[in-house]
Amino acid sequence: MTSAHGSIRAFLASFRLLAPTAQRRIGAVSAPILGALRLGLATTLATTLATTLAVSLTGAAHAGELQEYARLRGLEGDKLIGIGLVYGLNGTGDSMKDSTVAAQPYAQLLKNLGNISLDLRSLGKTRSIALVLVSVEIPRTGARTDDRLDVTIGTLGTATNLEGGQLITSFLKTPARPLDLAEWTPFAVAEGELEVDPVTTTKARIRSGARMVRDIVMSPFEGDTVALVLLPQYAGYPTASGIADLINDELSVVSGHSGAAKVEDAQTIRVRIPAEEMANPNKFLAQLLTFSVPGDLIRTPARIVIDHAAQVITVDERVEFRPAAVTAANLRITTITPAITPTPDQPISDTIAWAGVATGETQRQSMRLRALLDALIEVDVPFDTQVKVIRSLSRQGALKAEIIES
């Protein structure tokens, strides 16, 4: 079976789990997968199962540009924060009677706008104002004056709902406070109508609500070098070494330089910029990031990624396990064999506690986990049990894969 067919089979099998099933006719299904390897399974077949999608992924990465596998250190982005006031709330704002946290900035705002001097106690019945934290994420490439960015809002006081609110103009600064406070000046201002989170009504956003008033410039240059940081899913000494060799080969052909790239650790490659390129290092970087990386240079371990929230298991095609048996409480696989004269009303039910799973590769003593997951789907094994089977195989040392759970 090709990896493409394996993916399609697993994908279609996952949709069969959507329909409630009291019993599945598996006599015909079990026959092709019975083999020398026997896998003991344990769970009660449920009538209604949560949707589980098992997708087989190809083991070798596709060929791509260097920028698909690594980023430049120094281009990590940034964050701006500030304190703001949201007005226009319909009785769901901060209780200024119980706390003066919001009353103080509100009173100061009124004083600044209209020279109104108020006693904080006179604001006790006000519930239309909320004190909020305002934040903006700066892209990895930085931001320039007059750029517009999305704003995230969260309450700081007792407000229960930000629906209908409007953010008063707020100043945003870097989170790190400099020693010289004169340098702690705003980089952006934020204001606008809130879009409230439908799930958590004390959180909201303002699309393009922040306007940059100063540049934030990111630079990857560290003297005459730059650091390439492999993305976490590709990190490892084999991949780092292969990419460093590729860069050295490319530079030796293009400019006659060799040894410009060196591996610093499993995720970092230091690249020295040739002297003649220092006049225009940005052009050199553009060329470097578009170097073509063959897929066989991305030497990552076989992986299984389990997403518990979405109930998704993705399996690298290289994942294998050696002969093993896994059992748990109360599993019964029911096969239904029609009588000599088969009728839907009078089948012969045969209940066993074992399901055989094999790949048909008689010359190998290991099997692909993809085949196991396909079989588990065929017999309606729930997502949680599939995860437990994978963990059990790993603890036993029978599974050849790195397991990543989220």
Taking the domains of the chain in order of start, what are their residue ranges? 3-59+302-405, 64-74+221-297, 78-212
Percent of the residues in the chain that have a pLDDT greater than 70, as a whole number: 65
How many C-beta atoms surround the C-beta of residue 365 within 10 A?
11
Contacts of 321 (CB under 8 A, 6+ apart): 366, 367, 369, 372, 393, 398, 399, 400
Q: How far is CA 56 from the centre of its chain?
A: 18
**Residues whose CB falls within 8 Å of the CB of residue 399, separated by 6 or more in sequence, listed in order:** 319, 320, 321, 369, 390, 393
pTM (predicted TM-score) = 0.65
Please tell me the predicted confidence (pLDDT) of residue 126. Answer: 79
Q: How many CB atoms lie within 10 A of CB 184?
A: 12
User: Is 5 exposed, middle or buried, given 0-12, 13-18 or 19+ CB atoms closer than 10 A?
Assistant: exposed
User: Which pLDDT belongs to residue 354?
Assistant: 39
14 near 54, Cβ under 8 Å? Answer: yes
Q: How far is CA 335 from CA 12, 43, 234, 359, in A?
A: 22, 15, 44, 21
Give the single-character DSSP code of 103. H
Nearest-angstrom CA–CA distance, 38 and 36: 6
> What's the token pair of residue 192?
């606008």
pLDDT at 284: 93
Question: Which stretches in the chain have pLDDT values below 70?
Answer: 1-62, 98-103, 115-124, 255-256, 323-380
CA–CA dist 115, 113 (Å, integer): 6
What pLDDT does 253 receive? 80
Report the alpha-carbon distance of residue 66 to residue 297 in Å, rounded.
11
Distance separating alpha carbons of residues 209 and 136, to the nearest angstrom: 9
H or E element, residue 4? helix 3-16
List 130's β-bridge partners, or say none. 86
Integer angstrom CA distances of residue 191 from 136, 157, 165, 339, 356? 12, 19, 11, 75, 63
Strand partners, 228: 72, 269
pLDDT for res 115: 59
For residue 233, the tally of other CB atoms under 10 A from its CB is 13
C-beta separation of 253 from 29 below 8 A: no
| pLDDT of the residue at 353 | 40
| pLDDT value for 195 | 96
| Of residues 85, 89, 135, the one with CA closest to residue 107 | 85
Residue with tokens 């409007």: 166
Closest CA to 164 of 208, 211, 130: 130
Predicted confidence at residue 377, as pLDDT, reads 63
Q: How many CB atoms lie within 10 A of CB 299?
A: 15
For 64-74+221-297, CATH number out of 3.30.160, 3.90.320, 3.30.1360, 3.30.420 equals 3.30.1360
